[in-house]
């Protein structure tokens, strides 16, 4: 069987013209290189070189073999390059699912920076509900999930990423827009943009008003903070939302004011427990942690 060492010596001899030069290039003795070449010729059953005036002249068969060996080495170089890119987390697939609070604000910024360093990676990035993300994580079908909903399951590993305090969003020309802080009593009788009844944040926000017996005009329900901010910008009501989305809507016709009593948002990262950890997922989480820390959000 032909060995890689035989092909290496053959290729070096073809490139450098003599066995002596090939041996020097490969760091072996000239007799050892000659023996390896003789072994190759014995293995394939025909001569590769003819000696003419103390020099080796490759046969036509040698040139045909050289072309194939060159293609082989080129393929090996490509494999080596891919292996290096995998080691350096340049290539691979990464499927990320997030709820809208992070998926429409922080994560796109992180992904933009991430792709500059991992330009050959293939990314799936989906904004979905917490229920959808939790189920996909249980089924081990995604690499990273991001959610605010507290949920634990043996099939996933969770990590707290950030705690944020809710803010009040109002139309930019609202009578309360210049307040330093807004309390439930300030919003008495206001048209209030509420989240769905089955959501955790709806219950926390409602509790803050019910505790002080403050009535609001609940006319419009929205799915996420993005919809609440968009409607507030159009004068359709006020709302209590997480600060990431509110920050993105500043300058688009809304005012953002701290709200008391404080309502905390907890943002979590989830990974599948029974899938081998992805090097790209590790790199993305590192980039996200760095971004949150730099922004003072961790």
Looking at residue 23, which CATH number applies to its domain?
Answer: 1.10.10.10
Clarify whether residues 110 and 76 are in a common domain: no
Clarify whether residues 176 and 255 are in a common domain: yes
Q: For residues 159 and 267, what is the distance between their CA atoms, to the nearest angstrom? A: 9
Q: What string of H, E and C letters represents the secondary structure of 188-217?
A: CCCEEEECCCCCHHHHHHHHHHHHCCCCCE
DSSP secondary-structure letter at 277? P
Most confident of 28-32, 171-175, 264-268, 273-277: 171-175
Clarify whether residues 158 and 185 are in a common domain: no
Cβ contact 146:129 at 8 Å: no
In the chain, beta strands by DSSP E: 49-52, 55-58, 93-98, 122-127, 144-147, 156-165, 167-171, 191-194, 217-221, 239-241, 254-258, 264-272
Question: What is the percent of the chain with per-residue pLDDT over 90, rounded to a whole number?
Answer: 47
CATH, residue 290:
3.40.190.10
Clarify whether residues 114 and 199 are in a common domain: no
- Residue at which a domain ends, from 69, 87, 105: 87
At a CB cut-off of 8 Å and minimum separation 6, what does 103 contact?
125, 126, 127, 146
Clarify whether residues 105 and 185 are in a common domain: no
- Residue at which a domain ends, from 31, 57, 87: 87
Res. 216 pLDDT band, cuts 50 70 90:
very high
Number of domain units in the chain: 3
Clarify whether residues 158 and 224 are in a common domain: no
Clarify whether residues 257 and 287 are in a common domain: no
Clarify whether residues 132 and 178 are in a common domain: no
Q: Residue 47 — left, alpha, or beta (φ > 0 → left; ψ -120 to 50 → alpha)?
A: beta
- Residue at which a domain ends, from 60, 87, 114: 87
Q: Is pLDDT larger for residue 211 or for residue 68?
A: 211
Clarify whether residues 179 and 67 are in a common domain: no
Clarify whether residues 177 and 257 are in a common domain: yes
Report the 10 Å Cβ neighbour count for 290. 13
Clarify whether residues 159 and 190 are in a common domain: no
Enclosing H/E stretch for 20: helix 19-26
Cβ contact 274:155 at 8 Å: yes
117: domain range? 93-163+266-294
- Burial environment of residue 126 by CB neighbours within 10 A (0 to 12, 13 to 18, 19 or more): middle
Per-residue pLDDT tens for 34-92? Answer: 888 888 888 888 888 887 766 778 888 888 888 887 788 777 766 555 556 555 545 57
For residues 181-210, average pLDDT: 92
Clarify whether residues 67 and 11 are in a common domain: yes
């Amino acid at each position: 069987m032909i060995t890689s060492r035989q092909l290496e010596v053959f290729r070096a001899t073809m490139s450098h013209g003599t066995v002596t030069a090939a041996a020097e290039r490969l760091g072996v003795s000239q007799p050892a290189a000659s023996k390896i070449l003789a072994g190759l010729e014995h293995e394939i059953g025909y001569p590769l070189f003819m000696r003419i005036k103390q020099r080796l002249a490759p046969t036509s068969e040698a040139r045909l073999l050289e072309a194939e060996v060159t293609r082989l080495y080129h393929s090996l170089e490509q494999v080596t390059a891919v292996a290096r890119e995998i080691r350096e987390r340049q290539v691979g697939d990464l499927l990320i699912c997030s709820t809208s609070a992070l998926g429409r604000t922080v994560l796109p910024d992180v992904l933009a920076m991430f792709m500059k360093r991992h330009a050959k990676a293939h990314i799936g990035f989906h904004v979905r509900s917490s229920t959808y993300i939790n189920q996909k994580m249980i089924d081990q079908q995604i690499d990273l999930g991001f959610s605010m909903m507290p949920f634990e399951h043996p099939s996933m590993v969770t990590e707290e990423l950030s705690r944020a305090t809710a803010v009040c969003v109002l139309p930019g020309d609202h009578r309360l827009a210049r307040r330093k802080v807004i309390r439930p009593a300030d919003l008495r009788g206001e048209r209030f943009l509420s989240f769905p009844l089955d959501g955790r944040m709806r219950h926390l926000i409602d509790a803050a008003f019910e505790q002080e017996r403050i009535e609001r005009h609940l006319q419009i329900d929205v799915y996420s903070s993005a919809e609440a901010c968009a409607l507030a910008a159009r004068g359709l009501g006020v709302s209590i939302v997480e600060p990431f989305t509110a920050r993105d809507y500043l300058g688009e016709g809304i005012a953002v004011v701290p709200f008391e009593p404080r309502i905390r948002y907890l943002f979590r990262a989830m990974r599948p427990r029974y899938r081998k950890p992805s090097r790209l997922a590790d790199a993305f989480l590192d980039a996200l942690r760095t971004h949150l820390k730099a922004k003072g959000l961790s």
